[in-house]
Amino acid sequence: MIQGRPLEFLCDTGACRTVVSSGIKLPESRNTILVKSADGALTRSPLSKPVSVVDPVTGWRKRASVVVAPSCPLNLLGRDLMSAFKISVVPVGNGMRAIRTDESEECFLQSDHPDSQGVYYSLRPVIDDLAQSKLLMNTALSVLPNPSKIEMPIIKLHVTMALRPDVDHTYQDSFFSYSPVVLSTTHLITDGDACSVASVLLPTVVTPFHDVSTPPHISLTRNSSTRLECLGHMVEKATRASDFVSTHFHDSDDWQYSPSTGLYRLPLLVLLHCMPAVDPLQ
């Protein structure tokens, strides 16, 4: 039952989050999630505000944010609530069956589903800040001559906060309690050809949730041979470099250049309102 209303669900161990498609209208939050369908298509769906979910058999209760996806053909009970309610999917003679397990029993539910490539937690600018995101991207594009550069789609700009092999409920519950937060970029960093990234200053409340090796950043553009994670290393190099000097770059004297790294940087303050998000790694 959700919010006191009985609903039927298909137990889906391939779904990391519970999906509600019909039977009840839920209040939507400003958080969204990328949903990967069986055919590999990616769509962005809203997450509900925390709602009360009750197992009518055991009476166990859980507050959770679920995916609101009217286009999904069925309501899906994902691994998040299957774990909370100790529901497992086990093989039987004519297929698979969902069962409830006692704490003393072995659970067949695999949190590290073999089809899962992991998830990443991020801070994602809200749609209302689209103009600010475009300002950031356009500033980078104005100084990059390489015609084959690959742009990060504006709606996918984000600050990666953590990588996990699967949904980390302890981390997620705490991280998602901060919404929205305001962060600021500090520098635009580029190789002067095709790669660019913005370094970011995180607000104090979410700094403890930053759990990746490279400094906080927003990836903007790259070339075909550069992986996204390499852009984070550009920020790391620029942060460590002590030889930045003022230089004239693309008709501007505001840029700085580091001979030891070959990187250019421009002091750039852009404020972004961001929401916590979790998405599957592609």
Taking residue 57's Cβ as centre, other Cβ atoms within 10 Å add up to: 9
Return the structure tokens found at 114.
């073999």
Q: Which of 94-108, 160-174, 260-274 shows the lowest per-residue confidence on average (mean pLDDT)?
A: 94-108
Region of residue 5 (left: phi > 0; alpha: psi -120 to 50; beta: else): beta
pLDDT of residue 135: 92
CATH-assigned architecture of domain 10-100:
Beta Barrel (2.40)
What's the pLDDT band for 270 if we cut at 50, 70, 90?
very high
Q: For residue 225, give the 3-state DSSP assignment.
A: coil
To which residue do tokens 């996990």 refer?
164
pLDDT of residue 110: 42
- The pLDDT tens digits for 201-215 are 999 999 999 999 899
d(CA 42, CA 31): 16
pTM of the model: 0.61
- The pLDDT tens digits for 214-257 are 999 999 999 888 877 789 899 999 999 999 999 999 889 999 99
- The pLDDT tens digits for 74-99 are 899 988 888 778 787 766 556 677 77
Single out the residue of 258, 228, 262, 230 nearest to residue 243, CA to CA.
Answer: 258
Judge contact between 282 and 229, C-beta under 8 A.
no
Instruction: Give the DSSP H or E segment for 100.
Output: strand 95-100
Q: How far apart are the first and last CA of the chain?
A: 33
Q: Which CATH number fits domain 119-280: 3.40.50.720, 3.90.1740.10, 3.40.50.300, 2.102.10.10?
A: 3.90.1740.10
Residue count of the chain, please give it.
Answer: 282
Domains of the chain, by residue range, sit at 10-100, 119-280
Amino acid code (one letter) for 219? S
Please compute the mean of the pLDDT values over residues 132-160 and round it to a whole number: 91
Q: Give exposure, 61-99, as e/b (b: 16+ Cβ within 10 Å).
A: ebebbbbbbeebeebbbbbbbbbbbbbbbeeeeeeeebe
Asked if 10-100 and 119-280 have one fold, the answer is no
Long-range pairs, 68-72, Cβ under 8 A, ≥24? 68/20, 68/26, 68/28, 69/19, 69/20, 69/21, 69/35, 69/43, 69/45, 70/21, 70/22, 71/21, 71/43, 72/19, 72/21
d(CA 161, CA 189): 19
d(CA 7, CA 9): 7
Q: What are phi and psi of 137, to 5 degrees?
A: -65, -45
